[in-house]
Structure 1
C-alpha cells in the first residue's frame, strides 16, 4: 500500500510527513515546507450495510473512505433512507480530520459527537502496520483516534460509522440589524433574550448556527439556521415561545421564516450554504462555554458580556448552541470532556492582520475567565492556543501523550497543536507570534522528565534529505532562543 510505503520512507529517512484530506484546517496541520505529503482526498469508497454487527451495536452502518466529504456522505445516507451524524460544512472530510477531532453536528444535541458514531477504523500506524481499530481490536488506539486529533496516531484510510432512521426537521432563519428601526440597545437585549434558554433548546435536541458582527458599521445578527431535528413547527414554536414574547416586549420584529422538512438531508441542504474559504478572516479562536454558566444568572451575564466585548471590539463571532451530551450516553473516547458540559461553542475571528495578537491576548483570556476549567474545540481554535494540551483534551491529555510515545516513538506524525507537538518547534514566526509552517521543523531539547527510548534505526543526524532538525542545529543556523 502506498500509505505504508510513505510512512516507512518518512520514518527511516527522518523526513517530515504531512497528511492532508480536504484542507479544511484552521491550524495548518495539512501544510509543511519540504515535507512528504500524503493526500487522502481521493479515498472515496462508500459501502452501506443494512445490518452491521460490531461489539454491542447491531444496525445500519456505512463504511467510508477517508476522502469522503460531508455532502457525499449525506447523499449516500438519503439514497439508503437513513440519517448519519456529520458536520454542517459541505466539503469537510467527514471521516478525516472532522471525526478524528471529535466533530460537532446539527444532530449532536440528539446523537452526540461525530466520533461517537464510529464502530471501527482502518489505520496505518507509525511502524507501517495496517490495522483495524475498534472496541475489541487495538482498543487504546481506537480510544485515541476518536477525538485525539488528526496527523497524530496514524493515517486513517476508512471508517465504519452508525446510521440512524430518517427524521423530520423544522428550521428557522432571521436577520437582525441595527439601523433606523432597531437601536443598539434593542439589538443586544434581543440577543440576551435568545441566550437565556440555551439549555432548554439543546435539551429539546436543537442546534443553532448564528453569526454576530459590526463590520459594516451596523450590528448584524444572522440566524442561519435555528435547527430543530425531530420537531414540528408547532413544537418548535412552543419551545421558543418565551423568546418571542421577549422580542415583542423589546419592540423588535425578527420576521422569522419557518420551514418544515420530511428528512434531514433536505433541511441541511437548504439551510447551510457552501462556505467560502481563504477569506480575510485571518485568525480564529474558540471556546466551549459550559451549561453551568446558564444555571447561574450572574455567570450567564458575564458570558454574554464576554461575547459582546469581542463584537464591540471589531471581531466576528460564530456561535453554535449545541450540547453533545445525548440522553442515551456516549462512548469513552479522547473527545475533550468540556464538550460534554457545553451548550455554546463560540468562534471569534479577526479580519485585520494588525489585530492578530488581540485575539490571543485580549479576547481569549476574557472568554477563558468566564469559563474556568472548560476548553476549546481543537478543530476550530486559536493557532497558538495557550496550554493547548488541556484546552483541547482536559484531563485526558496525559493518557494521550503516553499513548503517542508508545505508538509513535519515532515522532513520524507531527502537526501544529497535536498531541506531542510540544516536543517540536518551528524555526521561524510570521507576524512575530505565529509559527511558520514554511520554516524548519525543529526537535526541542529533550526533557529528562518526559524522555522515551527511540529505536536505533531512526536517523538522528543531519544530511541534505532530512527535514526534521535538532534544536541544536536550528540554533546554529538561525540563532533563535529555544525558550
Structure 2
C-alpha cells in the first residue's frame, strides 16, 4: 500500500536554469496516489539504507529502528553486492547525504560496527536519497514518470546500482527511476538490430539495465563466449558504465563498451519508447555511445557484441605495501615498457606496490619474455621484502581471469570517496625526458592522495576511432586512465569534506599539467575544469544538439552531464 509519510517542499523555479526548465509546483497527495496507480503500485518511499540503525529520525523519514535489520546492514556495509539490492544505498555514501546541509543517515565506513554515528543525538535524515522512487519494470513506468515530472516539475533521477562518483543518481526532493530489477539476460548467435538487414547479424548478448557485471560474466562463461565488462562486480553494464564509455581489462584489444554495443532500447523524455542502433535513430545511438547515462533517456536494455571464448596470459607482480621506497622504481619500469605492452594487447591495473596485466594476443612464452623487466625488478626486492610475489599464468577464459583476479578486488564501498582522473597518452612515454616527467608527476600525485593512486591500462589503444562513438577522441591514444582517490569518514565536518574534494583536484593537477585535457567522465573530479572538452573532446556541440532534440524540457539533468546547469536547485546539496 502506498503512503505519503511527509509533505514535500519543492523549490521555486530557478531563474537561471535551462531555458526550457519546468516550474516546480506543489504536488498533492492525490497526484502521488494517481501516479502510484498508473504504475501498478510500483511507487515506493525511498528510505536511507542505514535507517534501521538509528533510534532517532527526522520527521518524514520512512522506515523504523530494527536491531536485526541493522545488524544485516552493518555486515553488508562494505559489500557492493549487498548495497546494490537496496534502493536507499549509495556505494560512495556521501551521495545519499546532503553535503551542503550535513543532513545524512550513514554509519562508519572504517568500522561499520561502531555505534556512535547512529546513536543519539545523531538523527537519520533523508539527505539526497530520493524520497520517492518507481521500481521500473517496463517502458510504461518510465513514460508515466516523465509525464508526471513534466506536469509537476518534480525533478527526476535515474538510479541503477548506486555506483556513483558524482552524485548523478540522487537529488533532494526527487523522484527516482530505479532500474535495478531489469535483470534479464539472453544470447542470440545471430542478433540483427531492429531495422537492419540480415547481413548485420552478429552474436549478441541482450541485458537488462540492472544486470550486473558478475552475473554477466557468469552468463558468458555458461555460453562459452566473451563479453567485455568493467572490473567492479556490481556495476550495471547497460547503465552509466556503458554510456560513459565503459572501460575494462580487455578494452585495449576488444574496445570500450561503447565500441561493442549493438542496440539500445530507451524511453526518451518526450515519452517515446525507441530502438537506437546503426540503422534507426542513429543520432541517439551515437549520443548514447559515450554521451553519459541519465541524460538522453532511460535505457531499459542494451545488446552488446559477444566474442568467442579467448585464452588469456596473465602477469602479476607485487611487493609489500609498506615498501614505499620501491614504488618509484616500479613506476620507472612500467613507464619504460608501457607503450610496448599496449601494442601487445595488455590491459591491466597498477597500484603503488603491484601490477596486474592480461593479454589475449601472446602465448605463455611470449608473455613471460615481455614481462621480464617487471618480474626482474620486483624479484630484485625479494632479499629485503618478504611480500614479493611473481605470477605468470595462462587462463582459459575471461571468466576465469575475472574470478581469479578481479571479483574480490574493487574500489572503496560504504565510504565517502572522491576521485580525480586523467587519460595519459602515448606521447608522455615517447622520450626519456617525458617519461621522467611522468614518473615525477605520479610520485607527486601519490603523495597528495589520502586513499590511493591507480593506473588503469584499459584504454582502447588498438581500436581506432571511427567516429561511431561520442567519447573523447583522447581515449584512442591513451595508455592509461589514472585515478587518484581520497575521502573521509562519516563523522567528518563539512569543512573537511570540502578539503577532500579540493585535495583530490590538487593531486590530479600534477598529471593535468603534463597531459591533454581529457578525463573519464564516470570517475572524474566533481570539480573537473572544462568538463565538456575533458569528457567529450570535439563531440560536445553535437551532443548538446541531440540532448535538446530528445529532452526539450530538460527533464533529465545530472552533474556535468550534457546540457547541465550548475545553478539548478537539484544540485543544492553539492559543496
2:354 matched residue in structure 1: 222
One of 444, 464, 469 as aligned partner of 1:309: 444
- Residue of structure 1 equivalent to 2:108: none
In structure 2, the CA distance between the partners of 1:265 and 1:330, relative to structure 1 (3 Å rule), is farther
In structure 1, the residue matched to 2:166 is 27
- Contact kept, 8 Å, 1:189 with 1:250, in 2: the verdict is no
Matched residue pairs, number? 419
For the 8 Å contact 2:213–2:236, the answer to whether it is kept is yes
Aligned with residue 341 of structure 1, among 474, 477, 484: 477
Distance of 1:276 and 1:366 partners within structure 2: 22
> Does residue 60 of the first structure (1) align with residue 200 of the second (2)?
no
Are the structure 2 counterparts of residues 240 and 155 from structure 1 closer, same or farther at C-alpha, using a change threshold of 3 Å? same
Aligned counterparts of 1:14 and 1:419: Cα–Cα separation in 2: 20
Partners of 1:389 and 1:267 in 2: CA distance: 35
Shift of residue 108 of structure 1?
0.4
2:335 paired with 1:195: yes
Q: In the alignment, what sits opposite 1:91?
A: 234
Structure 2 vs 1, CA of residues 368 and 38 (structure 1 numbering), >3 Å: closer, same or farther? same
Q: How far apart are 1:251 and its partner, in Å?
A: 7.9
Match of 1:267 among 392, 401, 412: 401
Q: Which residue does 2:155 correspond to in 1?
A: 16
Q: 1:247 to 1:73 in 2, by over 3 A?
A: closer
Distance 2:448 2:411 in 1: 24
1:377-411, Cα deviation, whole Å (9 max, x unpaired): 00011112111111111111111112212221100
Which residue of the partner structure matches residue 303 of structure 2? 160
User: 1:309-329 CA deviation, whole Å, 9 max, x = no partner?
Assistant: 122234410111233133576
Note the C-alpha offset of 1:194. Answer: 1.7
Partner SS state of residue 289, structure 1:
strand
Structure with the higher strand share, 1 or 2: 1
Is contact 1:317–1:347 with CA below 8 Å preserved after alignment? yes
Picking from 425, 448, 459, the partner of 1:323 is 459
> Would you say the 8 A contact 1:202–1:322 is kept in 2?
no
1:131-184 residue CA offsets vs partner (Å, 9 max, x unmatched)? 0011111111100001100110000101111100000112223322376xx671
Match of 1:44 among 160, 169, 183: 183
Structure 2: how far apart are the matches of 1:307 and 1:426?
37
Tell me the SS of whatever aligns to 2:270.
Answer: coil
Structure 1: how far apart are the matches of 2:357 and 2:363?
13
- Counterpart check, 1:243 vs 2:379: no
Label 1:12 to 1:208 Cα distance change in 2 as closer, same or farther (>3 A). Answer: same
Deviation at 1:191, TM superposition (A): 2.4
1:285 alignment partner, one of 420, 425, 430? 420
Distance 2:307 2:571 in 1: 47
Structure 2 counterparts to residues 112-191 of structure 1, below 5 A: 112-177=255-320, 184=325, 186-191=326-331
Distance 1:131 1:174 in 2: 47
In structure 2, the partner of 1:5 is 144
1:111 is aligned to 254
Gaps of 5+ in 1: 213-220, 437-483
* 1:300 lines up with 2:440 in the alignment: no
Change in Cα spacing, 1:2 to 1:94, as seen in structure 2 (3 Å) is same
Provide closer, same or farther for how the CA distance between residues 429 and 128 of structure 1 changes in structure 2, counting only shifts above 3 A.
closer
Query: What is the aligned partner in structure 2 of residue 468 from structure 1?
Result: none
Which residue does 1:206 correspond to in 2? 346
After alignment, is 102-111 or 50-59 more displaced?
50-59
Identify the residue that residue 508 of structure 2 maps to in structure 1: 364
Q: Contact (CA 8 Å) 2:471, 2:536: kept in 1 or not?
A: yes
Can you give the 5+ residue segments of structure 2 that lack an aligned partner in the other structure?
1-139
